[in-house]
């Protein structure tokens, strides 16, 4: 056998190494094929299931934990040994530095991969959020553009009827001025004016339907952006002024004796609301250009 201290070869039954002087007791606790084992202290062969040596009293259980034994031949193994010196069986030993280094490298690669994957996911989420914000802003600007376009269409539709309204107003006004009885109802003057200029009445009634339709479409857009607040308020006032004049003349909502006075007031309010709406369009265009 080999001395575990100096590495020199010595006789199998040597108790003390003749080269280095160290005790070799417990170095060869052998298990035999005939279900016997050798006491590592006195070399007596005893049955495998015995816990104590029948000759010297060696306690196998107490000393088993302190020894590192070859699983094949039962020989004690040197500290850190990877192979049994007696039978050559490979056994667990200390991991090599190279193995530890490889494990560390693998761990580092995994860590870098995980970190890189996390960074990639984060960047992807950031890009998706930026894209969503961009699409949301595009949709908002498109809504504002649709609102402006509809409001401009509505404004032009009302203004286009100014001459028609003026003509109808003049016919009613002259009729009221010439009447001295005071018993003719407003609806009678409206009917008389319609008989004098039926195409104008028809045209304006159709225009009113188109105005109401545009007002509904604008309301359905549900555009409440801060940029168009002034325009929205101005156009609401302008539409109200138009509706008031229309109701005044077409539904006979006036006092016959005061018709000219009331029409002058309505017309003045209409003109003021029209100017306010025109200015709101101009201001919005200037702000958009900036």
Q: Which string of DSSP letters, residue by residue, matches 220-238?
A: HHT---GGGHHHHHHHHHH
Please tell me the distance from the alpha carbon of residue 285 to that of residue 283, in angstroms, as a whole number.
5
Exposure string over 208-219, b if 16+ CB within 10 A, otherwise e: beebeebbeebe
Please tell me the distance from the alpha carbon of residue 203 to that of residue 99, in angstroms, as a whole number.
96
Q: How many angstroms separate the Cα of 96 from the Cα of each of 70, 82, 132, 152? A: 20, 10, 54, 84
- Nearest CA-CA partner of 270 in 222, 238, 248: 238
Please tell me the distance from the alpha carbon of residue 195 to that of residue 173, in angstroms, as a whole number.
15
Exposure string over 230-245, b if 16+ CB within 10 A, otherwise e: bbbebbebbbebbeeb
**pTM (two decimals):** 0.58
The number of residues making up the chain comes to 290
Q: Return the DSSP state at 77.
A: P
Please tell me the distance from the alpha carbon of residue 276 to that of residue 235, in angstroms, as a whole number.
8
pLDDT at 27: 44
User: Which 3 state secondary structure label does DSSP give 81?
Assistant: coil
- Bridge partners (DSSP) of residue 9 are 2
Please tell me the distance from the alpha carbon of residue 113 to that of residue 118, in angstroms, as a whole number.
8
Please tell me the distance from the alpha carbon of residue 215 to that of residue 255, in angstroms, as a whole number.
29
Torsion over CA: 129, 130, 131, 134 (sign): positive
pLDDT at 28: 47
Listed as ranges, residues in the chain with pLDDT below 50 are 27-28, 94-96
Please tell me the distance from the alpha carbon of residue 43 to that of residue 63, in angstroms, as a whole number.
15
CA 47 to chain centre: 75
pLDDT at 68: 65
pLDDT at 87: 73
CA 233 to chain centre: 36
Please tell me the distance from the alpha carbon of residue 207 to that of residue 190, in angstroms, as a whole number.
18
Please tell me the distance from the alpha carbon of residue 15 to that of residue 25, in angstroms, as a whole number.
6
């Amino acid at each position: 056998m080999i001395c575990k201290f100096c590495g020199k070869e010595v006789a199998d039954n040597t108790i003390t190494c003749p080269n280095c002087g160290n005790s070799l007791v417990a170095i060869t606790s052998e298990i035999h094929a005939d279900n016997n084992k050798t006491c590592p202290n006195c070399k007596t062969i005893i049955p495998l299931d015995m816990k104590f040596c029948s000759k010297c009293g060696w306690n196998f259980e107490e000393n088993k934990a302190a020894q590192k034994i070859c699983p094949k031949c039962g020989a004690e193994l040197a500290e850190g040994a990877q192979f049994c010196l007696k039978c050559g069986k490979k056994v667990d030993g200390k991991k090599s530095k190279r193995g530890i280094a490889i494990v560390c490298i693998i761990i580092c690669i995994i860590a870098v991969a995980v970190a890189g994957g996390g960074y990639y996911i984060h960047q992807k989420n950031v890009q998706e959020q930026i894209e969503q914000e961009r699409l949301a802003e595009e949709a908002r600007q498109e809504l504002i553009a649709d609102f402006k376009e509809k409001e401009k269409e509505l404004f032009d539709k009302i203004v286009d009827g100014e001459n028609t309204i003026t003509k109808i107003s003049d016919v009613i006004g002259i009729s009221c001025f010439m009447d001295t009885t005071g018993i003719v109802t407003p609806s009678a003057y409206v009917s008389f004016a319609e008989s004098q200029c039926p195409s104008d009445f028809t045209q304006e009634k159709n225009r009113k339907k188109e105005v109401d339709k545009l007002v509904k479409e604008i309301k359905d857009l549900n555009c409440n952006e801060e940029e168009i607040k002034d325009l929205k308020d101005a156009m609401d006032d302008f539409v109200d002024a138009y509706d008031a004049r229309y109701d005044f003349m077409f539904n006979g909502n006036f006092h016959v004796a005061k018709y000219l006075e009331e029409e002058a007031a309505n017309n003045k309010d209409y003109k003021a609301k029209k100017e306010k709406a025109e200015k709101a369009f101009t201001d919005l265009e200037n702000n958009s250009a900036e």
